[in-house]
């Protein structure tokens, strides 16, 4: 295939700057779950964007964060840094409305990055007054020598066409690595579990969403749709009570919201069975993390 480009583009930034929203907007469907809470993305997720001239392999990464006391947090940071080493290009996503110490941490990580780095100033639709954006761009240019600085709004879709137009030039000459109809390397069960976890994160308050994970035990397809059996793992008995709620009300509400999203995702009727089980300190055990589907390499 002549003049075809294909390569990996790592999407990196602090938590909650819109990396997953950006990926979903580019792909045109939910590849990564999105909530307003930090640390929603826990895994490296590959999203494939294929055109007639290029195949861009976006690598969505967990947000880099300072609080890395548990094994899960350390794995999330390691996943993000490993993605940088394998990238042909890097998208450094920051929030155009505010710069934080965690943004500085990511910038330091990029110091030794050999791949070309493009700065994306996200959430420009929230910058007030609009003239302030020029100052934000100028400040970003002083922090590092970027190949490009591009203001975008992942939520509104602003300037994403420009981003997709410039990216192929930074990728190597190569035939596509994946089939043209493929959009992610993650399995069906992974996405089902993530959709359930998204609803848990949205509906539960305080720190509880960070102490739970979801695992699909069975996925059965029948004439009337699919039946899914999934386990919500928590770290303590007290957390189990919160997830279940009085008379099972909270769990029913979470299951109802997840089922509606899964019907749209799978395109068929869905019967969802959820159980809540306790696995003490699973988030601080690499053995448990591996058994629950986390990348521990």
User: Would you place residue 285 in the very low, low, confident or very high pLDDT band (cuts 50, 70, 90)?
Assistant: confident
CA-CA distance, 159 to 178, in Å (whole number)?
26
H or E segment at 137?
A: helix 132-143
CB 18 within 8 A of CB 154: yes
CB 89 within 8 A of CB 167: yes
Query: For 100-104, 213-217, 224-228, 279-283, which range has the lowest pLDDT when averaged over its residues?
Result: 279-283
Structure tokens at 59: 């690598």
Quick: pLDDT tens for 114-168: 999 999 999 999 999 999 999 999 999 999 999 999 999 999 999 999 999 999 9
pLDDT for 34: 81
List the CATH code of the domain at 5-170: 3.40.50.300
User: Would you place residue 206 in the very low, low, confident or very high pLDDT band (cuts 50, 70, 90)?
Assistant: low
Instruction: Give the pLDDT mean for 207-224.
Output: 86
CA-CA distance, 297 to 78, in Å (whole number)?
9
CB 208 within 8 A of CB 241: no
Domain layout of the chain by residue ranges:
5-170, 188-291
pLDDT for 78: 72
Quick: pLDDT tens for 39-96: 666 777 899 999 999 999 999 887 665 555 566 766 666 766 777 888 999 999 999 9
CA-CA distance, 38 to 71, in Å (whole number)?
17
| Arch. (CATH architecture) of 188-291 | 2-Layer Sandwich (3.30)
Quick: pLDDT tens for 235-275: 999 999 999 999 999 999 999 999 999 999 999 999 999 99
> What's the burial of 160, exposed, middle or buried (CB within 10 Å: 0-12/13-18/19+)?
middle
pLDDT for 251: 96
| Token pair 């399995």: residue | 187
| Chain center to CA of 173 | 27
pLDDT for 81: 74
pLDDT for 52: 95
């Amino acid at each position: 295939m002549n003049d075809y480009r294909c390569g990996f583009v790592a999407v990196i930034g602090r938590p909650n700057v819109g990396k997953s929203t950006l990926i979903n907007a580019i792909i045109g469907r939910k590849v990564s779950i999105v909530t307003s809470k930090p640390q929603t993305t826990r895994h490296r997720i590959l999203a494939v964007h294929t055109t007639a001239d290029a195949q861009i392999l976006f690598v969505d990464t967990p947000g880099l964060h300072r609080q890395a006391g548990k094994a899960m947090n350390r794995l999330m940071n390691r996943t993000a840094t490993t993605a940088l080493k394998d990238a042909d290009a890097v998208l450094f996503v920051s929030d155009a409305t505010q710069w934080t110490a965690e943004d500085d941490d990511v910038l330091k990580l990029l110091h030794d990055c050999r791949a070309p780095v493009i700065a994306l100033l996200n959430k420009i639709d929230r910058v007030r007054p609009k003239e302030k954006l020029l100052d934000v761009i100028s400040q970003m240019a002083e922090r590092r020598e970027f190949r490009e600085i591009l203001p975008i709004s992942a939520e509104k879709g602003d300037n994403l066409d420009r981003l997709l137009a410039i990216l192929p030039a930074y990728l190597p000459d190569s035939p596509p690595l994946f089939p043209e109809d493929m959009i992610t390397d993650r399995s069906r069960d992974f996405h089902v579990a993530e959709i359930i976890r998204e609803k848990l994160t949205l509906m539960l308050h305080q720190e509880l969403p960070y102490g739970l994970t979801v695992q699909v035990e069975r996925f059965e397809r029948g004439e009337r749709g699919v039946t899914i059996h999934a386990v919500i793992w928590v770290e303590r008995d007290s957390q189990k009570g919160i997830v279940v709620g009085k008379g099972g009300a909270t769990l029913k509400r979470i299951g109802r919201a997840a089922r509606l999203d899964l019907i749209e995702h799978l395109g068929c009727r869905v019967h969802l069975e959820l159980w809540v089980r306790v696995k003490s300190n699973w988030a601080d055990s690499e053995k448990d993390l591996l058994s629950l589907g986390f990348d521990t390499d």
